Amino acid sequence: MKIRVLIVVPARSGSKGLMDKNVKLLDGRPLLAWTAESVVRAAVPDSLAILSTDSEHYAVLGRKEGLCVPFLRPSVYSGDSVAAFSVVEHAADWFIAAYGYRPELMMWLQPTSPFRSTAIIREAVAMVSDRQVDAVVGCKEIHRDLTTLFRLESGFMQPLDNQKPTQTSRQQSQPLLTPNGAMYLCKTDYLLEHKSFYPPKTVPLIMNAIQSLDIDTEEDWAIAEAYIKQGLV
């Protein structure tokens, strides 16, 4: 079987914002397990899902949850300031050395987005083929107009668009889109050659607020627990 999709789940140890968040228990399960379960249940045809981690403890957990852990990430790719692309590139280099070719697609699934569904993973892969696009990015809608988004200039608020009256009504503005960090899928050739998940033919996969939750702080964790308690996931 030739592997078409390389799915990378990045989980380094030593998080400072929320200590060891990738293995912290959320509803009795390590945070990492939520994403691993979704990947395994998605069963994307001709795919390989790997955990990219610098921790043997995380590696043991990843294998238990059904992910392949073919290496421990070197420290040069594991610091706070290491860019996501460097981790992706390291995983791609491993794959090419191991298999002798590039996978057609690479998917990036952060464990900090635990409520990304199995259906989202499957849909993203299908969209590349069905719509003949080069990348799919998980996004959430922002119901704001550029006239109500501001930058600070000399300490004062300046709208991003000051060419028209401020649009405060939800009905007056077309939703903006922003990547939610939950899912990136890109053709490998473009990704590696341009160091970007955003080729010209990139389409959004719109996800709701729950699916888009990215856990980075204690407040985010509390929100995740509240969603679970209310039966929303």
- How confident is the model over 5-60, as pLDDT tens digits? 999 999 998 777 788 999 999 999 999 999 999 999 999 999 999 999 999 999 99
Total-model pTM:
0.92
Structural domains of the chain, ranges and CATH numbers in brackets: 5-138+178-228 (3.90.550.10)
- Residue 173 is predicted with a pLDDT of 65
Instruction: Please compute, for residue 164, the number of CA atoms within 13 A of its CA located in the half-sphere on the CB side.
Output: 10
43: left (phi over 0), alpha (psi -120 to 50) or beta: left
144, 154, 16: which is closest to 80 by C-alpha?
A: 16
> 82-86, 178-182, 225-229: lowest mean pLDDT where?
82-86
Whether 216 shows a pLDDT value over 80: the answer reads yes
Mean pLDDT of 160-182: 81
Instruction: Please compute, for residue 8, the number of CA atoms within 13 A of its CA located in the half-sphere on the CB side.
Output: 27
Q: Are 120 and 182 in contact (CB under 8 A)?
A: yes
Separation between Cα atoms, residue 6 and residue 14, nearest integer Å = 25
